[in-house]
Amino acid sequence: MCDRLDVSCVQMNCKPGDIKYNLKKAREFADKAVKNGTEILVFPELFDIGYDLSSLVKLDIDEHIAVDELAAIAKDNNMFIAAGLTEKGYGTFYNTLYVFNNIGETVLKYRKINLFSLSKENDYFTPGINPQSFVIKNIKVGVMICYDLRFPELGRYYLKDGCSVIIISSAFPKQRQEHWNTLLKARAIENQLYIIASNRVGSLDGLEFAGNSSIIDPWGNVLETLDNESEGIIKCCISMDKRDEVRKFIPCYNDMLRLEGLINNNKCNDRIDIKE
């Protein structure tokens, strides 16, 4: 069983509504990443349209263009790719994270469950209903999109589902950058797993994005990160030995199961009111 994986995150300044440009940049990043041994490469949320939600109305989006190109990029570079894209449904859109394997097959489509109403995502997208995970080199990986990060229940679901890694594809704003950094560490520490988080930089209609794409280990250590302005790639070899070491030292999982048992037992028991 393989217990190591070379992971990389792309941090890019996506061009609003310019799918062709953003896909061209994606290929350039992948061509660079393959040279450092990357086995899975992660891109930001809705990077195809640069998180420009108005593009959903202005453009006649053919999702197959982005899907087919990213599948080809994955196959050409013999790597997995996880990327936030626009998915067109019947009379609706989804904010979707696609995962392509190293032969260009789509192995996962995760539709964002927690849409961010502050950015009016609810006006454009239909929310997803199912968490999703996939396996690469016998390592199970869960996925989130941006605002999902604020919901620890989803991270806990992935832990209980046997995941050792969570990928997060984001367009997180600079004004809440400390939330981003804190929440990434929290999800890693509380679930004792790796966080691989890709965020974009640049701005859109006055909204600046936070960057700070990061790879964080199960102890909460930031292994690699970028600043909040630069484009680039971060890369790290993650080891399941570190996961096992952390989980053995502080056996949170077993204690969590005991706590859940107590809580569920208390829910089943009728509360007795004692009157003096």
Residues with active-site annotation: 45, 112, 146
- How do strand 106-111 and strand 93-100 relate by DSSP bridges? antiparallel
> What 3-state DSSP class applies to 196?
strand
pLDDT band at residue 272 under the 50/70/90 scheme: very low
Q: How many CA atoms lie within 13 A of 255 on its CB side?
A: 8
Q: What is the pTM of this model?
A: 0.94
pLDDT in tens, 97-134: 999 999 999 999 999 999 999 999 999 999 999 999 99
Q: Give pLDDT tens digits for 131-169.
A: 999 999 999 999 999 999 999 999 999 999 999 999 999
CATH architecture type of domain 4-268: 4-Layer Sandwich (3.60)
State yes or no: pLDDT of 274 exceeds 50: no
For residues 37-63, one letter each, b for 16 or more C-beta atoms within 10 angstroms of the residue's C-beta and e for the rest, the string is: ebbbbbbbbbbbbbbbbebbeeeebeb
Q: Residue 39's pLDDT band (boundaries 50, 70, 90)?
A: very high
Q: What is the pLDDT of residue 59?
A: 87
Residue 219 has pLDDT above 80, yes or no: yes
Q: Are 165 and 193 in contact (CB under 8 A)?
A: yes
- Mean pLDDT for 37-54 is 97
Report the range of poorest mean pLDDT among 89-93, 135-139, 175-179, 229-233: 89-93
Taking the domains of the chain in order of start, what are their residue ranges?
4-268
pLDDT for 1 beyond 60: no
Mean residue pLDDT of the chain comes to: 94
